[in-house]
Amino acid sequence: MEINNVAVAGSGAMGSQIAMVCALAGYPVVLQDISQESLQHAKHFLEKQMERRVEKGRYSRREVGEAFRRLTFTTEIEEMENANIVIEAIVEKLDAKRELFTKLDRLVAPDTILATNSSTIVSSKIADAVSRPENVCNIHFFNPALVMELVEVVKGPHTSEGTAAKSVEFVESIRKVPVLLNKEISGFIANRILGKLTDEAIFLYENGYATPEEIDLACMKALNHPIGPFALMDLTGLDVHYLVRKQRYDESGDEKDKPSRTVTEKVEKGELGKKTGKGFYDYDAQGNRLGR
């Protein structure tokens, strides 16, 4: 099976960027979402992002124009039927993912790879919702997908060697760097390590040792991180962080896995980070940080 057509389900920050990465690499891509408003927002977001990259000389206008011509925005799931690989990037809720995979199973060709971008929900929790579990795996991109090079490919106990190998080959074809996990574990590699750092950062903040600005600054200047843990939560979305921890707590029952008090309070107040203009920091309409 050769991968000639790509589909991405979910046009949020991750799904839209994954779709553009694939289009820039030369693939025809269908970006599908149940919300026309979300698709319009995704198109506007990508236009702004790519305009900045043209201005900085990273891409030519011709390259960007060709990529957009390869990209189809649609609310119709049927338009994904010709895809050789589908990457799911919808809401981080297991029931929703299982429902989508069941629909895709009936729609696409028998050898199509069905991948979830989730780093929390391992693919074995989805695989029994389809008739060909050997085609199911995790292909996890990092935010922002247009920038971040690493992609984690995770082989579940149901995933065939062929699916894993083809997924790694696909990641390389879109100019990303794959790492292959031969066994499932929630959070995979990078996010498990990052989770420990974030937990400690929140502990230091909640117990009054330092402010988010000071903790972020320490991580950047002492550990050489490009962005601190609080700014990173704002970037990826505090609601995403909350749902990831809630999913992990629901599975483990371990109190240490629960979302933190601080994050829970912010999510309840609608302070979800950069996308709402307020999280641990404040942002203007263009997404520029104003301070706490």
Quick one: CA torsion of 155, 157, 160, 166, rounded to 10 degrees?
A: -10
Is the alpha carbon torsion for 152, 149, 20, 285 positive or negative? positive
Contacts of 29 (CB under 8 A, 6+ apart): 5, 6, 7, 8, 19, 20, 22, 23, 70, 71, 72
117 is catalytic: no
From the candidates 16, 117, 119, 135, give the one annotated as an active-site residue: 119
Angle at 140 between CA 10 and CA 249, to 5 degrees: 90
173 is catalytic: no
From the candidates 5, 123, 140, 167, give the one annotated as an active-site residue: 140
Distances (CA, A) of 200 to 73, 102, 142, 265: 41, 39, 21, 18
From the candidates 5, 11, 118, 152, give the one annotated as an active-site residue: 152
Is the alpha carbon torsion for 159, 161, 162, 164 positive or negative? positive
Report the alpha-carbon distance of residue 196 to residue 202 in Å, rounded.
10
Q: Kindly report the three-state secondary structure assignment for every residue of 261-291.
A: HHHHHHHHCCCCEHHHCECCCEECCCCCEEE
From the candidates 41, 79, 191, 214, give the one annotated as an active-site residue: 191
124 is catalytic: no
Distances (CA, A) of 93 to 81, 219, 243: 23, 31, 8
224 is catalytic: no
Please report which helix (H) or strand (E) contains residue 167, including its range.
helix 161-173
Please report which helix (H) or strand (E) contains residue 96, including its range.
helix 94-107
Catalytic annotation, residues: 119, 140, 152, 191
